[in-house]
Amino acid sequence: MSNKKGVAKQDFNDVGTGKHFEAGKAPNCTAGEYENYRAAGLIEEPGQADNTDTKGGKTAD
């Protein structure tokens, strides 16, 4: 089981393992599975900004 602190960004199923993950909950998975989910954008780690798309956005003066 992974000791990472991230949470699922959305409900999803891993068809390879048959596991189901619920949005907002920490995944019960191996460290390797966790890294795959994180790389796929399915896991959000603590402190990760939810609004990463800032191109062309307004900035504070």
pLDDT digits (tens, 9 = 90+) for 22-53: 999 999 999 999 999 999 999 998 876 554 54
More confident call, 11 vs 46: 11
More confident call, 34 vs 55: 34
Question: Is the pTM here over 0.85, yes or no?
Answer: no
Q: Quick check: 54 pLDDT over 50?
A: no
Helices marked H in 1-61: 31-39
Q: Which amino acid is at 31?
A: A
3-state DSSP: the chain helix, strand, coil percent, rounded to 5? 15, 15, 70
